[in-house]
Amino acid sequence: MIPVLLRLSFSLTCIAYAWGIYNYSCKVFSYLWAELECAESLADTVESLMIGGLLLSAVCVWFERLRWFALLGMIALVIEMLAETLVPSAKYPYLYWAEWMLRYSTPVVLIMLLGSRQWSRRGGVLLMRVAVACVFAAHGMKALYSDPQFLDLILVTARKVGFVMSESAATGVVHLIGATDLLFAGIALFAKSKRLSWVLWALAAWGIITALSRVSYGGVGNWYEVFARSSHCLVPIALWLHLRKERK
């Protein structure tokens, strides 16, 4: 069950990014063309290679003998993240590495957990804990910085359910969420395994809520944004299952 959750998570992430890049382009294209002034044909070729790598990874991750090809998707995600940090419009360039860690580390975790050596499996579990903590810590930091996107998500979602909220109230809610995210991230990283169960389930629930908020904010057309964040829910559950298995 644990490998299935990890495979599903990464497969959905790759499909989401491939769809998004195909339909809306990507930061890599913008950086190559606008910032480095590369030929548009070169930027377009790199973009096509990224889409191909993501789709290939989405399939190969399901086959044990082909699982190493899933690293192509990881490379595509890391390249996109690097471009995201280098563009002049980047607001939190260093937080992106932490914020995306579950998305690009999942195939590495899977390979390590399927390894035959004990140190490999232990390393995979540790990497999962670090990735979960980094993602929610990064979200917490962005919330404490009063990230405009987070404020818009709160305000628009509240309006759609018929609740009128002022911007100052939304800021307070976002700050509370940020502090909670940081607290849970610390627990996920440093707490003993037997005390992690409720935290991991809380993080999984919060992960799916925040992912679904992209649909409540932007409509059903934002489905790929939900898929891109599937690891925020599925990986904490996979980690919980692994820790429960170890205790038996």
pLDDT at 95: 86
Nearest to 128 by CA among 52, 198, 196: 196
What are the residue ranges spanned by the domains of the chain?
Answer: 2-247
pLDDT classification of 248: cutoffs 50, 70, 90: low
- Say which residue, 198 or 51, is predicted with more confidence: 51
Residue 31 in contact with residue 85, Cβ under 8 Å? no
Neighbouring residues of 221: CB distance < 8 A, sequence distance ≥ 6: none
**Number of residues written out for the chain:** 248
**Per-residue pLDDT tens over the stretch 217-235:** 778 888 999 999 999 999 9
Q: In which residue are the tokens 């390894």 written? A: 115
Residue 236 in contact with residue 133, Cβ under 8 Å? no
Neighbouring residues of 70: CB distance < 8 A, sequence distance ≥ 6: 10, 57, 60, 61, 107, 110, 111
- Give the mean pLDDT of the chain: 89
Residue 55 in contact with residue 14, Cβ under 8 Å? yes
Give the dihedral of Cα atoms 107, 24, 81, 2; nearest 10 deg: -20
Q: What is the mean pLDDT of residues 112-122?
A: 83
Q: Tell me the pTM.
A: 0.90
pLDDT at 108: 93
pLDDT at 9: 95
**Per-residue pLDDT tens over the stretch 130-186:** 999 999 999 999 999 988 888 888 888 888 777 878 888 889 999 999 999 999 999
d(CA 75, CA 59): 16
How far is CA 48 from each of CA 26, 45, 144, 202, rounded to the nearest angstrom?
Answer: 11, 5, 37, 38
Supply angle C-alpha 231, 193, 120, rounded to 5.
65
- The pair of three-digit structure tokens given for residue 47, joined into one six-digit string: 């973009």
pLDDT value at 88 more than 70: yes
pLDDT at 229: 93
d(CA 213, CA 226): 8
- Within 10 Å of residue 135's Cβ, how many Cβ atoms? 27
d(CA 232, CA 148): 21
